Every structure is written in structure tokens, then in C-alpha cells.
Amino acid sequence: MFFRVAFAAALLLAAPSSWARQKAAVQPHNVLIFVADGLRADSVTPKDAPTLWKLAHEGVRFSNPHSLYPTITTVNATAIATGHHVGDTGNFGNQLYAGFVSPEAGGEVPFLENDAILGEMNDHFGGNYLKEDSLLAAVRAAGLQTAALGKVGAAAIQDVTVRDGGSTIVIDDSVGTPGSLPVAPQIAAAMKAAGIPSTAPKASVPNNEQEKYLLDIATKIVLPRFKAGKKPFVMVFWSRDPDGSQHAQKDSLGKLTPGINGPGSKAGIKDADDTLTGLLAGLKTQGLDTTTDVFVTADHGFSTIDKHSRTSAAARYATPDRIKSPQTTAAAPLLLPQGFVAVDLADALKLPLFDPNTQKPVDIAAGEHPSFGNGYIGMDAKNPDVIVASNGGSDELWLPGDNATDLVRTIARILSEEDYVSGIFVNDDLGEVPGTLPLSAIDLKGAARTPQPSMVVNFRSELIPGCKPELLCAAEAADTSLVTGQGMHGSFSRADTKNFMAAVGPDFKARFADPAPASNADIAPTLERIIGLKITPKGRLTGRVLSEALPKGKPVTVTTGWISSPPAANGMKTVLNYQQVGGTRYFDAAGYPGRTAGLVVH
């Protein structure tokens, strides 16, 4: 058994009440959900993001916000869309083991930020790979108007079963390219008449041109159409910035400072802020500003990459002057190559490694590594013992063989000895494994249709000395092609789980700082309440209504606690910090003590 210690912190924070929408014949207000991809709560300042700052301080500022773990885009896109945690949606990462060969991906480990791949996922998993109905789908079924614009994959996930371009208007930044979703003829004609090209500009750093293109579609085509339709609407706009700029900035290549706090990243924050400014102006131009609720969120936080390791065989193999003697212990840390988990496990298990994206063997002794970080490990590439999917600050593993119960313990021992690991989670079906916590402890075990991971591995994170505020100053190991000094997310540090969340409008309190925990899974249930919908869940891992943020919201009790695993043979323990409101848990941070930024050990 894992040990649990919970201590009540009866805070008078406002929460679930008997408040309910009046059933009178009153049309609901419109809703705009704006997602600033990768926006950290503490990076929103009056100087760097004046519109975001003003919105948060005029409406509701969620001062205790949470991204769902793994802190990855499509994971949280599904939470925003459905109001369910990952164990129900089955979207365990941007890359995951699908259990079938995706023709578009060329293998069984697809990258989900792709419209064609999302269609294949639906086809394979009963028409809706998420299983759960989304907010936009429910709004559309109720006869209201819907749209999703922005980042490819994340936009389509908001109403993932609709692929005609018309029922819900879905226009992402891949529009006009092969495999993208179609644009309804009337929308395409309106774009042409407005002088808007049929193909989106390519992403850039900062992403100004592409954001302006999508903003023009939203304000010149979609909002006027919605006004003319004379029905309430729900529109999601997903900004690729500041995520893209924080990933790709070159302000400190090879160094941790300024990391993702330099001018390149700040330009991405400004781009997102300018886009929101344009959307709000568009609402006002159409006379919709006073009848629209605006909910702003970020899918995850962010950290600076630190790829140093003293223990990784992959780092030693990838260093040219050590190829002839790969077992040499480095006096100084070396750099982790992409796919280091797959390489290190293949090396320790003494099994061949194959690249599932190229279908070719990987010669680890020659310093080769998988092209996208993913790996098949075993004697037969068609029947691997271990499948690795890389996702930045975390990796997921599937053990499809009959020996999974024994193999999981071996792998847990191997990984617990790597200095880049900070916490391991194991599928409940494989039994208790010392040093690890079960997937159910973090809501990764639920009603999902997709194959559930056997293990999830969290990577090390730490605070960068001399940098303030602390949660803007975390560095993490990351399974990525990006380098030390650039940006990544995906870990269980508080820097990655602390996203930005705020709301303003006729159905929200004004000038209210909400100290209760909130997460991306709470957005859909809250908006359901506001709109007057009732979506029947298939699974049980749902978010809650943020009723303390609504007019007449009443106080609620928040409890805080922690869970610790029994120690592994080397003493390593996975510790989880959480908060709880009613039956809903919020996960702050998890990992090995001393190796996860923001983890509190009691």
C-alpha cells in the first residue's frame, strides 16, 4: 500500500453551492474561450501582457491554477474540451501508443497535433477516440453556434468528431495544406471576399503573421456570421504563442539564463496578448462585448531545458569521443540526446532498439537515437517488449508482453538510478512497485478507450539559482530535439502545472481573486452550468463547477495533502502534493524529493 497523509486546511474560499441557472426562457450568453498556449501565470504582468492582466483583475483571477499532468498540449486540450481528466479521455500525450498502425504517422506511435491522425484515431476508437462528449459538441447539438480556431490538433479536439468545416467552424493553422480539415464553401467564399488567403502562413517566432491571419478570420468572418445568426455562440481560439516562441527562442542556447525569460519569449507573450486584444475589439465592433463571457486559460506552464546527465548511457554513447569506451564514467555531466529513455532502457535490458517512426534499428553504440524520441525495445520490432513515447518533460511506456508484471519492476529499478528521473507512476493492473505510485493516484486510470500506459516517467526539475520569481525559473530534463536553454514542458513540477487562468463577463464575479484550486478540467463543467447544458459523462474523472467564481457563489473547504510511495531498494520514493475541493483533486507537483521544482515534502 502507498501511504497517505492529508491535512485539512479549512479555507473559506467559496465553492460548490446550490446555485443553478434559472430555467426561464432566457438565452444564454455567448462564450469565448481563449487559450494562450504555454502561458505561465507569473509571466502575466502589466508591462508584458497588459490586456491579459487587465482582464484578470477586472474579472476573476484564478490564483491557484492547474494544468493536468502530463503537462502537454493535447492532454490539456482534451480536458478543456470535455471537462474530464486524462484517464477518461485516453489522450496520454502528444505522442502515444495507439495500438494500431496509423497510415498518416507510418506506425503505432502517432503525433496527435495532426488533423488526419485525429481522424484515424476516431475511426479506430468507435467514432470518437476521446469517448467523452465535448462542450462544443453539446452546444452544437443544442442548436447554438460553434467555432474552433488556432493551433492544429488542439483546435480540432474541441469538437473532434466534426470534420466537415461547417457544423462547427474549425479552421486551424494547417488550413490549405494536404491532410487539413476542409473549410465550408460559404466560409471559404467569405474569406476570399475579405482578401484572406486560403492557406495559413507558416509558424514563426514570434508567431505574429499566423496569429494575425487567424484573428482576421475570427473577427472579419466568424463573429459577423455569428451576429447575423442571432443565436448564442461558443468559440475557442487557441493561440500558438507564447508556446512556440518559448520552445524555439535562441536567447540563451546552452545556458539556463535568461532561458525562457528573455526577449524571444516575451515577444511570444506579447503576440498572445495582442491576439486577445484583437478578439476583444472584434466582439466590441459587433456589439457582442457585453453579452459574451470570456474564459482565458493556458494548457500548461513552462520550463527551461537542462539536458545534462552524469548517469545516462545515451549521453555517453552520443558523445563522439566516448563511442569507443561507452562505459567510461564522465567527470562532468554530458548532454542527453533525444530518445535517451529508449536508448538507456535498451542498453540496460541488453535488447535491440528500433525506431517506430522509421521502422529501422537504432545503433546505440554508434551514438544513434530515435528520430522522434520514441522506441520499440525487444528482439522483434513487430512484437516489442517495451514501447516508449516521448513527451518532453515526461515519457510514457507500454509493456504489451506477457511478462509485463516482472518487467515493470526491472524497468522501475533501472530508471530510479538515472539522475534525470524524478518519480515513476505504474498502471494499477501491474501491482504495487516500490518507489512508484499507481496511475490512479493522478487520475490516469479511468474509462479510456485508448491503450493505457504501463508506466509514466517524470523527469528531474530544479530551480535556477538567483532567479525570481521562482516558478518562472525552473529547469527540467526533457526528451526533445531542443537544446539546453530553450523551453519545454510536460513535467510534474509546479512550474509546469501552474498555468494562467482568468475569466470575465456577465456570468462571472468582478474583481475577484479566487484562491481555490482550479484546472483546465473545470472549464467545461463551469460553462455547462452557465449555458444551461447537462452533458452525460461516460467516465467519472470529471472537473468541478467553479461556482465560487460565479455571482452568489458560496464558500468551500479546500484540503491539502500528500501521498508517498514505499521506497525503492535505493531509497527513492515518489511523492505527490495535491489539493482537494469536494471529490475533485488538483495535483500540484510530484517526483523524488529534491528533484522536482515546487514539490513539498512533509
Structure confidence by residue, pLDDT tens digits, 192-249: 999 999 999 999 999 999 999 999 999 999 999 999 999 999 999 999 999 999 999 9
CB atoms within 10 A of CB 161: 18
CB atoms within 10 A of CB 571: 10
CA distance 316 to 244: 30
CA distance 29 to 316: 59
Cα 551 versus chain centre, distance: 30
Q: What is the mean pLDDT of residues 138-160?
A: 98
AA identity, residue 325: S
Do β-strands 518-519 and 65-66 pair in parallel, antiparallel, or remain unpaired?
Answer: parallel
CA distance 173 to 216: 13
Judge contact between 235 and 214, C-beta under 8 A: no
- Which single residue is written with the C-alpha cell 555531466? 333
Higher-scoring residue by pLDDT: 331, 140: 140
Sheet containing 487-488: order of strands? 461-463, 474-476, 303-305, 487-488
Q: How confident is the model at residue 104 (pLDDT cuts 50, 70, 90)?
A: very high
The predicted-structure confidence for 2-27, as pLDDT tens digits, reads as follows: 333 333 333 333 333 332 333 344 78
CA distance 338 to 239: 27
Peptide bond into 232 cis (omega under 30): no
CB neighbour list of residue 212: distance below 8 Å, 6 or more residues apart: none
CA distance 343 to 413: 16
CB neighbour list of residue 226: distance below 8 Å, 6 or more residues apart: 30, 145, 147, 233, 235, 286, 288
What percent of the chain has a predicted confidence (pLDDT) above 90? 91
Q: What is the mean pLDDT of residues 410-434?
A: 98
Judge contact between 11 and 558, C-beta under 8 A: yes
30 phi and psi, to 5 degrees? -75, 160
CA distance 361 to 381: 8
pLDDT at 331: 52
The predicted-structure confidence for 489-511, as pLDDT tens digits, reads as follows: 999 999 999 999 999 999 999 99
Nearest to 185 by CA among 201, 161, 172, 169: 169
CB neighbour list of residue 139: distance below 8 Å, 6 or more residues apart: 146, 234, 531, 533
Angle between helices 340-349 and 404-416 (to 10 degrees): 110
CA distance 496 to 491: 6
How many distinct helices (H) and strands (E) make up the chain?
16, 28
Higher-scoring residue by pLDDT: 331, 471: 471
Beta strands in 356-420 (DSSP E): 360-361, 375-377, 386-391, 394-398
What percent of the chain has a predicted confidence (pLDDT) above 70? 94
Find the farthest-apart pair of alpha carbons in the chain and give their distance in angstroms, rounded.
Answer: 77
Peptide bond into 70 cis (omega under 30): yes
CA distance 580 to 151: 32
Whether the per-residue pLDDT at 325 is higher than 70: the answer is: no
The stretches of 286-403 forming alpha helices (DSSP H) are 313-318, 340-349
Whether the per-residue pLDDT at 115 is higher than 60: the answer is: yes
Angle between helices 73-82 and 523-531 (to 10 degrees): 20
AA identity, residue 306: D
CB atoms within 10 A of CB 285: 14
**Mean pLDDT over the full length of the chain:** 93
* Lookup: cell for 201: 502562413
pLDDT at 556: 87
Q: Which residues face 425 on adjacent strands?
A: 437, 456
Whether the per-residue pLDDT at 1 is higher than 60: the answer is: no
**What pTM does this model have?**
0.94
Do β-strands 308-309 and 292-297 pair in parallel, antiparallel, or remain unpaired?
Answer: unpaired
